[in-house]
Amino acid sequence: MLERPALYTDYYELTMAQGYLLAGRQDERASFDYFFRDIPFEGGYVIFAGIADLLKTLQNFRFHEDEIAYLANQGFHKEFLNYLRNFELTADIYAAKEGEIVFPREPIVRIEGSIIEAQILETLLLNFLNFESLIATKASRMKYAAGNRKVLDFGLRRAQGYGGIQASKAAYIGGVEATSNVYSSFRDNIPASGTMAHSWIQSFDDELTAFRKYAEYYPDDCILLVDTYDTLNIGVPNAIKVGKELEKRGHKLKGIRLDSGDLAYFSRQARKQLDEAGLEYVKIAASNQLDERLIKSLISQEAPIDLFGVGTRLVTGQNSPALDGVYKLASVNDEPKLKISENIEKITLPGRKKVIRYSGDDGTFYGDGIVLEDEENVETIYHPYYPAKHATVTTFNAEYLLSKVMQDGELTIDIPTPKESATYAKKRLAKLIPEHKRFDNPHIYKVGISKKLMDLRDNLTQKMKNKR
C-alpha cells in the first residue's frame, strides 16, 4: 500500500538525521526500543501486530528523486541529500512474533542500526505498530466476549480513512472471523462477508419482493436484513416466507440480520418466530454499534444471536483510539542511554535488552522478565520500581520473545501471513489465564526486570543527576 515510505515520517526525524550527518556521526550505531506504557481499553494485555506490514514496507525504503527535490526545497543540505540518495537500510531488527501477547514496558521491537536510519524509521514504525496492535487487541476482546459465536468486521465505512485497510487486517489477527472490507480480503487473503443493505430493500416496491429476489440469486448465502420497515411484524414473517420457499427449492435460508432496536428482545422474538416456523437452522446476525461489552451483555441476557457484526467500535478502537507506544533510544555505540523524568515510571530502560517469558508446566504464562541482552540464567525478576517485590523464576520454563527478523537490512524470516498471525495469537491467548482477559479490573500480568538492568538504570540515573 505504502509504496514509497521514506517520507512517511515526522519532519524532525529528518532534521535530526541531517544533524547527525553534519556532526560526522553517521557511523555510530544506535539501539532503539519500541514499547508502550498503558494497555488500551483498561484491558489486561495487548496483541502485538503491524510488524509484518512494517517489514514488508521496509523492502521499499529508499528516497526517490522527487522526494529529494522536495527536501532540497525545504532547505536540507546537499551533503545530506546525497546521503539520502544512496541510503540503504543496514539495520538489524529484533521483534516479537506478530500475534504475541505483550505487556507494558517490554521492548517488543529493537532496532539496531546507524543512528541516522534508526532515527528515520521511528515514525513509520510507531504508526504501524501502534495502530495494528490497538485493533488486534480490540478485536481479541470482542471475540473473547463472543465465545464460540462469530464476529465479523463491518467497519470500513467508519474507519479512519485508509487506516481501514490495516484495521481489517489487524482485526483478523485479533480473532475476527471475516471482514466486509473487500480490499483487505483481496490484498491480505482474509475471508470476506456481506449480503445486503437497506438500500436493496428500499429499491424494490416491497420487502418481500426484495427478499425473494435476493434468495433467487443467492440461495445458499442468503442473510436477509429484516428491519427496514418493521422487524417483527413484517421483516421476520417475510424472511420466514422466503425461507420456506427456499426449502421447497432444496436450499436453506442462511440467516436474518437485525440492525436496530433492542437486539436482545428482537433476537429472542425472531428466534421464536423462526423456530415456530420450523426454521431452527436459520442463524441470527446482529449489528449496530456493538462492542465487547455489549456483546457480553447480550450473551449474558441469553440473546440467541449467532453472529455479531461490529464496525466503528472495532476499527477505531473507540474509547481508546490510540496505543501509546513509544520508541526510545537505549544505546549509542553500545553505551547505554536513558531519558530521565520527574515521573519515575517515565525513566526508560537503558541498554540492549531481551524479554523472557516464564511459563508453568501446563503452559500458562506466569510473567515476563526484561533483562540485558548478554544475561544468562536470570534467577529473580524485580518489580521495576519496588525492588522489594520480586519473584524467583528458576522453576519456570523460559522462552525468548524477541527474535531477529532483519539483519543488515535484509529480512531473515518469512513474513507471516495474517492467517498465520491469527493462528499464533489464538494459540498464545489460550495460555493467558482468564483473569488477565476480563474487562473489569483485569489482573495485572507480572513484568519484572533483572537486577543487572535495574542497577544499570539506577546508576545511570544517578550519574546524570550528579552531572547537573
Say how many CA atoms lie within 13 Å of 365 toward its Cβ: 29
Residue 242's contacts (CB-CB under 8 Å, 6 or more residues apart) are 208, 211, 212, 215, 222, 224, 253
- Compute how many residues bind a copy of itself; rule: CB under 8 A: 102
3-state secondary structure of 353: strand
Taking CB under 8 A as the criterion, the residue among 26, 90, 260, 423 binding a copy of itself is 260
In total, the chain counts a number of residues equal to: 468
Nearer to a copy of itself, 328 or 457 (CB): 328
What sign has the CA pseudo-torsion 385, 106, 7, 24? positive
Binders of a copy of itself among residues 319 to 348 (CB under 8 A) are 321-324, 328-329, 332, 337-343, 346
Only one of the segments 89-97, 118-126, 276-284, 353-361 lies at the binding site for a copy of itself (rule: CB under 8 A); that segment is 118-126
DSSP state of 157: G
Site string for a copy of itself, 295-314 (x = CB under 8 A): -----------------x--
459: contact with a copy of itself by CB under 8 A: no
Residue 43's contacts (CB-CB under 8 Å, 6 or more residues apart) are 137, 141, 439, 442
Q: Closest distance between a copy of itself and the C-beta of residue 198, in Å?
A: 5
| Owner of C-alpha cell 480490499 | 183
81: contact with a copy of itself by CB under 8 A: no
Taking CB under 8 A as the criterion, the residue among 31, 114, 127, 287 binding a copy of itself is 127
Nearer to a copy of itself, 15 or 59 (CB): 15
Residue 448's contacts (CB-CB under 8 Å, 6 or more residues apart) are 367, 368, 369, 370, 381, 382, 383, 384, 390, 391
Helices (H), 95-121: 115-120
Beta strand pairing status for 178-179 and 109-114?
unpaired
Binders of a copy of itself among residues 135 to 154 (CB under 8 A) are 154
Taking CB under 8 A as the criterion, the residue among 26, 104, 150, 163 binding a copy of itself is 163
9: contact with a copy of itself by CB under 8 A: yes
Taking CB under 8 A as the criterion, the residue among 137, 166, 421, 450 binding a copy of itself is 166
218: contact with a copy of itself by CB under 8 A: yes
DSSP state of 91: -
Q: How far is CA 47 from CA 51, 113, 427, in A?
A: 12, 26, 12
351: contact with a copy of itself by CB under 8 A: no
Taking CB under 8 A as the criterion, the residue among 26, 56, 62, 195 binding a copy of itself is 195
CA–CA dist 35, 111 (Å, integer): 12
Q: Closest distance between a copy of itself and the C-beta of residue 99, in Å?
A: 17
CA–CA dist 85, 67 (Å, integer): 10
Only one of the segments 21-29, 86-94, 99-107, 439-447 lies at the binding site for a copy of itself (rule: CB under 8 A); that segment is 21-29
159: contact with a copy of itself by CB under 8 A: yes
Binders of a copy of itself among residues 30 to 49 (CB under 8 A) are 30, 32
Nearer to a copy of itself, 185 or 450 (CB): 185
Beta strand pairing status for 397-400 and 335-336?
unpaired
Q: Closest distance between a copy of itself and the C-beta of residue 222, in Å?
A: 10
Residue type, 430: A
Q: Closest distance between a copy of itself and the C-beta of residue 137, in Å?
A: 14
